Copies of this chain bind each other. A is one copy, B any other.
Amino acid sequence: MLNRRSTEQRELIREILQQADEHLDADNIYEQARQRSPNISLSTIYRNLQLFKELGLVEEHQFGSRRYYEPAPQTEHHHLVCLSCGRGFEFKCPSTEGLKSRINKEEGFRVIAAEVCLAGYCPACQERLTATAAGNRTIPGQKEVK
C-alpha cells in the first residue's frame, strides 16, 4: 500500500516551502534545492509537490500561466500578483464567506472553493516605475512577465 517514506529530497522540498516568504514555482524550488542537494532532479520536485498536494500539505495556485506552491494556510487568504515584478502577496478577504452563500442562494451553485486574485502594482514597483518613467523594464534576475 501507500507507506510514505522520509527521504532527504522530500524533507528538503518541504523545508524550502515552509521557509519561503514568497510563492515559489516548481523551478524556483528546484534551483533552491540543487544548492543543497546538487543531484536532485526536477521530476522529484514535481512528484513531491503532487504528493504534498494530495496530502493537503501544500496548495497549488495558478496565476497567468505559472503555477505556484505554498504550504497549506491556516487561515483563508487570497492573492495579489504584481504585474511588474511578478511577486505574489497575500491578503485576507472577510467578505468571501458572504459571497459564497449569496451565490449558493442566487445561482443554485454549490461553491466549494473561492479564489480571489487581484493584479496590479506592488508599492516597490509603483515607486520604481514612477521614478524612471521610461517604463517597460524588468527587474534583473526576475522572470519576465508578458
Contacts and interface: CB of A to CB of B under 8 A. Distances in A.
A115 B117 contact: yes
Nearest to A111: B120
Contact of A112 (B83, B89, B103): B83
Contacts of A119: 111-115
A113 B120 CA distance: 7
A92 to B, nearest CB: 10
A91 interface: yes
A145 interface: no
Interface in A58-109: 62, 64-65, 80, 82-83, 89, 91, 93, 95, 99-100, 103, 106-109
B117 A117 contact: yes
Interface stretch (A11-19, A32-40, A121-129): A121-129
Contacts of A121: 109-110, 112
A42 interface: no
A20 interface: no
Interface of A: 62, 64-65, 80, 82-83, 89, 91, 93, 95, 99-100, 103, 106-123, 126
Given A80-B111, A108-B122, A114-B118, 7 more contacts: A62-B65, A91-B107, A93-B99, A103-B118, A109-B120, A110-B120, A112-B119
